[in-house]
Structure 1
């Protein structure tokens, strides 16, 4: 069954984007130094788009499988946990080197200083932090109980807990929207709204409530993809661009999604041919990065810190330092990610080979024309 290659390529783009966001502060380049590009490197746009894609893909998958709750949750757990655990164990083992690299960094800045503080918190209560990460609770434990708990040891894995929180509630939401009586739908949606209101005040910003709007955007996109737009003349390049720009003034992530997703709808139902954006996202390098995106996202800080440790003290110019750091990080992180994708994720996520509708296979059935 065919996938939506644009979204696979987008996954790859987002993973590479995350690596660059983490590379620049390591060389003393803060988002505030980048002028008009500051929002792209200083905000959580790439993670927000990942959440939108997750809402879309998970609802698409549930519409096809219609499996019971526990098998669904088990498969999702086996999809994310082995690579997550692999990266977490390596990150704990590497934590001493990472801490030394940050302390001796040739180029200081707020981000590096903040990372030092997080590592100090990691070491101060390491049994609690390790336990919270092993149970995927690090995204909901109040920060007053466990300072910096969402970010310790494996900082970028805070949203793996957020993702799993979504997996827990998604089948219930899907059932209510598709199978429950109208009165139950109303009660459930009212309850969700109340929970969201309370959750937005929860003292851990990795909680699902803080990203609910992005998962919801993905869910709405699932319903949009499930219908035909062939006869809808208002779906065109100009209306897509206008909607993306308008929404982008409120949320850059949702604006970007509207442009990419809307373009995919337009190509599928109205244009009949690929545009420049579709072609770019379907390039082989983008699809390659899309395939290893999850592992790359989790593993890239390990070679980054190792290279920082080796480059510090060489008195290199900033440009040379970041060039070597960037090239070396990608050169080491890519084979690590290929290994993790193939032999760690693949070894546990058996259903990926048994059925064609895994999370990577993101395209729905074509609607009847």
Structure 2
């Protein structure tokens, strides 16, 4: 399946990955983790997390952006009539996501075995919720299959999103049948209904003490659909943006930031029950993410910024940075939290994470992509030969 690539969207993914890194590095502090405005030395960060400036460390919204981007990018071959069998599609998707994931899983399990020291005194419940228990063989097997229901945040807190990414990717060609066949209003409507069903189902199962996150994949499927609809109507939306005045373009840009950070500046206060945050979070963040993509495609200024070499660099390594950034963080916290200043540990973690991401990109990701292309080409040749023989 030939790739259709917009380099500025790679940079957008890279910036989102950086915001996830910052988000997780701040989450180790109880003052940031707790839903409260603290007056300690972290008062500024605690204030910023309830404003649109939360965009710089909006980890949850960044994952929604990843999902919308996936829906956008995966839909392009279908929309451009680039025909390919399901086996070829799935081969490329699995080699793209699963092989780098599997290598990171091996590394994180080694790190847990060698460096975990139990409870981290003075750090948040989030930090102490990782690497706190001995390695479980059954949990490792669950991780190997990736798409099942398991404690997917035990070893690496980002794995949960890959579970949903793979589940939805497996079903995505079916989703595209509806996207291509029906008008956007109908596609969006049934997607909203399925997403609502997934959220309600998750809530009810949780109240019944049934631990499963299969329903959450239905819930997050909305973001993929929004991305696919965006790809389908991108030309019209780009023309719409380009036809507006400079003032209107600035207002659209500001609106996209407010929508993307909506859960932070409107709903993220302690008075709002946690269970009510997710639906508006996903809908608003998905719309904001979709607007970011249109801005990246239609705005010459934003496109120029995103094509800046350092942003391109982080776009290239974004998946590996996402996979690895928590591993050096937890290694250093467990080994040196009582010996070295926390901020030095964070800076060191950041540097090591980038180095690991670069190594992973060149020695794992690129070979995996190459393998996917090689296998899919072989499968395509086999399918062509069968058709000729028939």
In the superposition, the TM-score normalised over structure 1's length comes to 0.76
Name which of structure 1's ranges 346-355 and 166-175 shifts more when overlaid on structure 2. Answer: 346-355
Secondary structure at 2:129 match in 1 = helix
* Deviation of the 1:353 alpha carbon: 6.4
In structure 2, relative to structure 1, the CA distance for the partners of 1:28 and 1:68 (3 Å cut) is: same
> What's 1:85 paired with?
102
* Deviation of the 1:168 alpha carbon: 1.2
In structure 2, relative to structure 1, the CA distance for the partners of 1:29 and 1:15 (3 Å cut) is: farther
> What's 1:127 paired with?
137
* Deviation of the 1:56 alpha carbon: 0.5
Question: Quick one: which of 200, 216, 222 aligns to 1:213?
Answer: 222
| Mapped partners of 1:293, 1:246: distance in 2 | 24
The 5 Å alignment of 1:200-349 reads 200=199, 201-202=201-202, 203=205, 204-205=212-213, 207-227=216-236, 229-230=238-239, 233-234=243-244, 236-238=248-250, 240-241=252-253, 243-244=255-256, 247-248=259-260, 249=262, 250-251=280-281, 253-267=285-299, 274-275=300-301, 277-314=302-339, 316=340, 320-322=341-343, 324-349=344-369
Unaligned runs of 5+ in 1: 268-273, 356-369
Any conservation in 1 of the 2:259–2:285 contact (CA below 8 Å)?
no
Q: Confirm whether residue 49 of structure 1 aligns to residue 69 of structure 2.
A: no
Q: Confirm whether residue 113 of structure 1 aligns to residue 128 of structure 2.
A: yes
| Mapped partners of 1:349, 1:62: distance in 2 | 20
* Deviation of the 1:295 alpha carbon: 0.8
> What's 1:62 paired with?
78
> What's 1:137 paired with?
147
Any conservation in 2 of the 1:240–1:258 contact (CA below 8 Å)?
no
| Mapped partners of 2:16, 2:257: distance in 1 | 20
Name which of structure 1's ranges 228-237 and 36-45 shifts more when overlaid on structure 2. Answer: 228-237
Any conservation in 2 of the 1:55–1:216 contact (CA below 8 Å)?
yes
Secondary structure at 2:130 match in 1 = helix
| Mapped partners of 1:91, 1:336: distance in 2 | 12
* Deviation of the 1:136 alpha carbon: 1.3
In structure 2, relative to structure 1, the CA distance for the partners of 1:134 and 1:67 (3 Å cut) is: same
- Number of residue pairs aligned between Structure 1 and Structure 2: 324
* Deviation of the 1:195 alpha carbon: 4.8
Name which of structure 1's ranges 226-235 and 27-36 shifts more when overlaid on structure 2. Answer: 226-235
Name which of structure 1's ranges 328-337 and 342-351 shifts more when overlaid on structure 2. Answer: 342-351
* Deviation of the 1:27 alpha carbon: 4.9
| Mapped partners of 2:90, 2:243: distance in 1 | 40
In structure 2, relative to structure 1, the CA distance for the partners of 1:329 and 1:59 (3 Å cut) is: same
| Mapped partners of 2:198, 2:239: distance in 1 | 40
In structure 2, relative to structure 1, the CA distance for the partners of 1:300 and 1:245 (3 Å cut) is: closer
> What's 1:35 paired with?
46
- The CA RMSD over aligned residues, in Å, is 3.3
Secondary structure at 1:341 match in 2 = helix
| Mapped partners of 1:91, 1:191: distance in 2 | 39
In structure 2, relative to structure 1, the CA distance for the partners of 1:80 and 1:245 (3 Å cut) is: closer
* Deviation of the 1:290 alpha carbon: 0.8
| Mapped partners of 1:96, 1:300: distance in 2 | 18
Any conservation in 1 of the 2:69–2:227 contact (CA below 8 Å)?
yes
* Deviation of the 1:247 alpha carbon: 4.2
Any conservation in 2 of the 1:240–1:262 contact (CA below 8 Å)?
no
In the superposition, the TM-score normalised over structure 2's length comes to 0.72
| Mapped partners of 1:225, 1:191: distance in 2 | 21
> What's 2:382 paired with?
none
Deviations 1:268-303 (A, max 9, x none): xxxxxx32x333322211111110111111111221
| Mapped partners of 1:265, 1:99: distance in 2 | 44
In structure 2, relative to structure 1, the CA distance for the partners of 1:241 and 1:347 (3 Å cut) is: closer
Deviations 1:209-262 (A, max 9, x none): 221221122112102224474477358505624753674545452354244223
> Whose relative contact order is higher, 1 or 2, with alpha carbons under 8 Å and at least 6 apart?
1
